[in-house]
Amino acid sequence: MKAAYINSYGSKVQIGEQAMPDLPPGHVLIKMKAASVNPIDWKIAKGDLKALLKLRFPIMLGSDGAGIVEQLGDGVADFKVGDEVFFRCHKMDMGTFAQYFAIPSELVALKPNNMSFEEAASIPLVGLTSLQALKEKGGMGPGSKVLIHAGAGGVGTFAIQYAKACGAYVATTASQKRFALLKELGADVIIDYQSQKIEDELSGYDIVLDTLGEAVHEASYKVLKPGGVLVTVLGIPDNETVGEYASGFVVKLVARLHNNKMQKQANKHGAIYKHLLMYADGGQLSEIAALIDAGKIRAIIDSTFTLDQVQAAFERSKTGRSQGKIVVTID
């Protein structure tokens, strides 16, 4: 089959023939139709996560997608051949920029009926990130006040819609040219990060979702009410998560020192700091699919590329200027 892969960290993405995936019991083989580009994909290719994820070359790339069930492994009863599905794979088992991909059935969900494969492929990572960050880590519920940084980005465009679907009051940050889109998505307050300071405009918030990094933490804590939660999806994971993935003493020490620093900053403001390393979950994707089928969430796609253009898609993602998700179509 044709697939995208790297033979060394920092090298350009190769497109070529790779062996068809095995189909262990409990897995489904998916004929891929589309996959989305996420920063974790090119960060892995660059080598940024090699201390945390021990992967073997050639490293197959791509971490979520949509397609058609081609074959069922022994014991799979929840799906049938021909089902249209979408999914997010485990971090140690990537390779969705390919014609075929095998994945445990519990990580798969039926594709929303009102979405194309390209639209559905754009959802899993950002959808699961939004649900787990806002609901699980942040405790979001009806009436919660939520600030979502970088509302026009891949996570931001989904998180705004998800928070509104859950009954939250949503503020977000963006440049003026993104305001029209963010109003369409339901944002209650939009802060122009180029001319306004969030700490001057907002206060008493329950949750801040950080998709930008430590540079926004100090201002974000000033927006939160006492006991409010800042959830970040960037930087070094929490000590428990690092322990699950990495065995090296130095890696664990660096993580512990970093997280102590983050906790001290949060404590200074009477707030709570949490890091999310998103995990795959087919049940949660089914919840998300129900919201999409109900018309409460739509896909926002920045651009599409073919499988032969994965490197170009990565370059687009690295600019940080995409509005919504970048998608790779697979023929």
**Where are the domains positioned within the chain?**
2-123+299-329, 125-275
What digits encode the pLDDT tens for the residues 73-125?
A: 999 999 999 999 999 999 889 999 999 999 999 999 999 999 999 999 999 99
Residue 81 CB coordination number (10 Å) = 11
Q: Are 285 and 104 in contact (CB under 8 A)?
A: no
Q: Which residue has the tokens 């900053």?
A: 265
d(CA 167, CA 179): 21
d(CA 233, CA 158): 14
Of 145-159, 201-215, 233-247, the one with minimum mean pLDDT is 233-247
Confirm or reject CATH 3.40.50.720 for domain 125-275, answering yes or no: yes
**What pLDDT score does 320 carry?**
85
Quick one: which H or E segment has residue 198? helix 198-201
What digits encode the pLDDT tens for the residues 107-117?
A: 999 999 999 99
Q: Are 74 and 104 in contact (CB under 8 A)?
A: no
Mean pLDDT of the chain: 95
Mean of pLDDT values over 164-178: 97
Judge whether residue 241 has pLDDT over 90. Answer: no
What digits encode the pLDDT tens for the residues 242-278?
A: 877 766 778 788 889 999 999 999 999 999 999 999 9
CATH number for the domain formed by residue range(s) 2-123+299-329: 3.90.180.10
CA angle (117 as vertex; 22, 95 as ends), nearest 5: 30
Threshold 0.75, pTM exceeds: yes
d(CA 79, CA 105): 8
Q: Which two three-digit tokens encode residue 188?
A: 């209650």
Judge whether residue 54 has pLDDT over 90. Answer: no
